[in-house]
Chain A
């Protein structure tokens, strides 16, 4: 049974940003969503999470049509994401940034405190828990994005270029964390330009180009696909 199904998704911003995109994701998948800049990856994420409405098509999550559901309801169903450009809650300290999603599933402040501590520990931000997000580095802000998304205890986690700007070693560290997350039963969609990470982490790759899905398959096959090569060479 598919966890998430997208049927013939189209979205226009005056020009077609997405055209008839079909996507089916099984529970436990680690999907790599790749494509040149402007190919519609973030737009697709926005449609899955409900931040923007699609013009056409259907979004089905766990056999339920959520096309018309608001974004906060979807996040409570277990769809979480990070933002390409980190959007921390600057007015709240790092720990309290996690309280916002944690309140969806925990009642008491003590429980939230403990769980926030565990998540910050997981992404390596424990020592910054009482600081403000504005004092974090770019990379730490991305770690906060990840922790905040995980705080929803998601079924599906969409990572919008979380690895950008990391050194090779830091990428390995981050992938270690992501493997732990996957093993706990979270399905992941990873939007990424770093091929080493995509190849090492994902079991399936989807390629977008100019708003169209041009290829889908196992990592090894995708990079032998001439159409994919053309899309990337054209960049």
Chain B
């Protein structure tokens, strides 16, 4: 096990970090790093969502809430207690993981759409808490001044880029480790039939809670550097539906239940979003992305991965087959 973890996490992690550093050295434009940050953050969130939603089939609509819980934890610790960034990241993961544990217990009683609606409630409750707590910035939020760049970086955004690169790598690697193990197989069994999984010896409750905690903790971790990226952390944008919807859409476009689906989806959607914003306008961007999502839902419900594998036929074709 330890050997597997070091081969799948530590060594590739070091390689990814080196590549990230190299990119930071070679590329000088700031805009490039902003775009990469947005896409990498989407990859991290999508990969995290996929662990619960893609494998076990429990659809969590509260991405924004768990992400924001991480972002707020990290900014509070960094601003008021001046902790190390790594500590802030770990704390962000812990707080969101604990929130995930609560949601996990929900999954004992409620399934399907009822579970999903409950996750929205978590987001909304968090928003209310932040709005009414001056310590957490209230409605005004936190205005963040980025620290000066430090070597080897020539700009703080390069450091943030490296950070989110490693976080998204970590989220994808964890998802891949799970997928390749008996745990991932059991998650899929839970998605297909909880009853059959249970009577086949799968401890479904324990595994569902594991999936929720890991998934939500990773969302929190993805949110930890966000305050420094956005520089104004306020409850409406951080917890709004936009971030979560994009991550959610990235999984659908890329392909659910497959570790590289979120990467494909986030790169496609993020790339599209950025190029439409640059070439046309940011209003069009939402429309175009929306159309792409609808097209995928109708024509390729299993995303790009589903198209590549070509196993399951899309909905429209299936209907024709039936006639």
Contact = CB atoms under 8 A, between A and B. Distances in A.
Interface of A: 49-51, 70-72, 75-76, 80-81, 83, 87-92, 96, 99-101, 103-104, 132, 134, 148, 151-152
Contacts of A70: 198, 203, 205
- Determine chain B's interface SS by DSSP, over half rule: helix
A96 B185 contact: yes
17 contacts: A51-B198, A51-B199, A70-B203, A71-B198, A72-B200, A72-B203, A83-B196, A87-B192, A87-B196, A88-B192, A89-B188, A89-B196, A92-B185, A96-B185, A103-B201, A104-B201, A132-B311
A75 B195 contact: no
A152 B182 CA distance: 16
B contact residues, range: 20 to 34
A148 B200 contact: yes
Contacts of B188: 89, 91-92
Contacts of A91: 188-189, 191-192, 257
Contact of B200 (A50, A90, A101, A132): A101
Contacts of B186: 100, 103
Given A71-B195, A75-B201, 9 more contacts: A71-B198, A87-B192, A87-B193, A88-B193, A91-B192, A92-B188, A92-B192, A148-B196, A152-B200
A37 to B, nearest CB: 20
Interface in B234-266: 257
Given A72-B204, A103-B182, A132-B311, A89 B199 contact: no
B131 interface: no
A66 B279 CA distance: 66
B197 interface: yes
B178 to A, nearest CB: 14
Contact of A51 (B191, B195, B202, B312): B195
